[in-house]
Amino acid sequence: MGPPIWGFLQPCLLLLLAEGPQHGYSLLEKLNEQKLLNGVDVGNLYRTLRRMEGAGMVESAWSERGAGPNKRVYRLTPDGEGMLRRWAGALEQRTSLLSRFLDEFHRVYGLDGALAPPEGMNEDEENLI
């Protein structure tokens, strides 16, 4: 229902890959573990990784298979690291934008009301911004 966290998946993936090459499914798990992003759609994740590879942010290779099905292992490129740094700066700006909104909100409504969503909102809507 509520809008998703648009464009946040890519910087999250870049950040995780900055700590070392990984395959898609592993990235999915870490997104949840580290609570960077909740309930990421698997299909969307793989498609995003391929898109990022097309854009030159990451590169992939099939792993020398260990156990289980084959894994496509992604690693960050220099271009990808550059993008990550710019994302980080942009996200900082976004934080200040959100702060300005919240300040204004509290100015109008005082301290009440802002804490409704955890109870009153469904799971979809919790997944905003």
> Which residues form the interface with DNA (CB under 7 A)?
3-10, 23-26, 39-44, 46-51, 65, 67-73, 124, 127
Pattern of binders to a second copy over 76-95, x per CB under 8 A?
------x-xxxxxxxxxxxx
Position 111 contacts a second copy (CB under 8 A): no
User: 92, 48, 57: which is closest to 75 by C-alpha?
Assistant: 57
Q: Chain-centre distance of CA 78, in angstroms?
A: 19
Residues in a beta bridge with 76: 58
d(CA 20, CA 23): 10
CA dihedral 91, 95, 96, 98 (to 10 degrees): 130
Pattern of binders to a second copy over 2-41, x per CB under 8 A?
xxxxxxx-xxx--x--xx--------------xxxx----
Indicate the residue among 69 and 78 with the shorter CB distance to DNA: 69
Straight-line distance from the first to the last Cα atom of the chain, in angstroms, rounded to the nearest whole number? 12
Q: Which residues bind a second copy (CB under 8 A)?
A: 2-8, 10-12, 15, 18-19, 34-37, 82, 84-95, 97-102, 104-105, 108-109, 113-118, 120-121, 125-126, 128-129
